[in-house]
Amino acid sequence: FLQAADVAKPLERLSNKHLIFQNIDYALDLYLIYVLTLSIFPGFVFENTGKHNLGNKWYPLVLIAMYNVLDLISRYIPLVPSLKLESRNGLLIAVLSRFLLIPAFYFTAKYGDQGWMIFLVSFLGLTNGYLTVCVLTIAPRGYKGPEANALGNLLVLFLLGGIFSGVTLDWLWLIGKKKAFYSAKSACSW
């Protein structure tokens, strides 16, 4: 039977500081996933599309559609247990290896054709959705309800920080590009 002392006893949980220190790798994973993704997509994809035959209006839309479709599909891949990446080190290596996409996008925009750019954008979307779901489903394992909830909230803060940093870094692709701000200025003028 339950004692009165057991009923009145509040649930103890780890502090936010301890939760973050125990899961700093997951927090950095989420931060880096979105820093990289949003520093490339959609700004670089829309501005620096390289050589293509689809026309100036349709090609960026095809790239954005490919990213979104593969991002959506990849969020369901971890439902297959054999395809889910659960290793902390494996997740960190996968997230860090995505940074090789930066020179790949740069050289593809400069020297590649539309097929390579479509492949890279698709791969970016595929890895973004897959890694996000893997991190957010693996991190709270082993914690009680209140701790898992607090950890989820803390991870979302790192995700939002990555979004903000990625959007800010997206402007770096425009440095050194002639007429980079001309198109935005002309779009806003009456």
Decide if 174 is inside a domain.
yes
How confident is the model at residue 109, as a pLDDT? 84
Decide if 35 is inside a domain.
yes
Tokens of 28: 């950095």
How confident is the model at residue 141, as a pLDDT? 92
How many residues can be counted in the chain? 190
Decide if 37 is inside a domain.
yes
Cα 72 to chain centroid distance, Å, stands at 12
Decide if 9 is inside a domain.
no
Q: What is the pLDDT of residues 56-82, one digit of tens each?
A: 678 888 889 999 999 999 999 999 999
Decide if 7 is inside a domain.
no
Smallest Cα–Cα separation from 35: which of 175, 153, 131, 140?
A: 131
Decide if 2 is inside a domain.
no
Cα separation, 151 vs 143, whole angstroms: 9
- What's the predicted TM-score (pTM) here? 0.82
Decide if 88 is inside a domain.
yes
Letter for the amino acid at 49?
T
Q: How far is CA 136 from CA 12, 78, 121, 128, 173, in A?
A: 23, 11, 23, 12, 29
How confident is the model at residue 190, as a pLDDT? 47
Q: What is the pLDDT of residues 5-55, one digit of tens each?
A: 555 556 677 888 999 999 999 999 999 999 999 998 887 777 766 556 666
Counting Cα atoms < 13 Å in the Cβ hemisphere of 143 gives 23
Sequence-separated (6 or more) residues with CB below 8 Å from residue 190: none
Q: Is 84 left (phi over 0), alpha (psi -120 to 50) or beta?
A: beta
Q: How far is CA 34 from CA 37, 71, 159, in A?
A: 5, 13, 7
H helix intervals, 41-144: 43-47, 58-74, 88-97, 101-111, 114-138
Q: What angle do CA 155, 156, 161 make, to 5 degrees?
A: 100
Number of domains in the chain: 1
Enclosing domain of residue 155: 16-188
Q: What is the pLDDT of residues 102-159, one digit of tens each?
A: 999 989 888 888 889 999 999 999 999 999 999 999 999 999 889 999 999 999 999 9
Decide if 5 is inside a domain.
no
Q: What is the pLDDT of residues 111-125, one digit of tens each?
A: 888 889 999 999 999
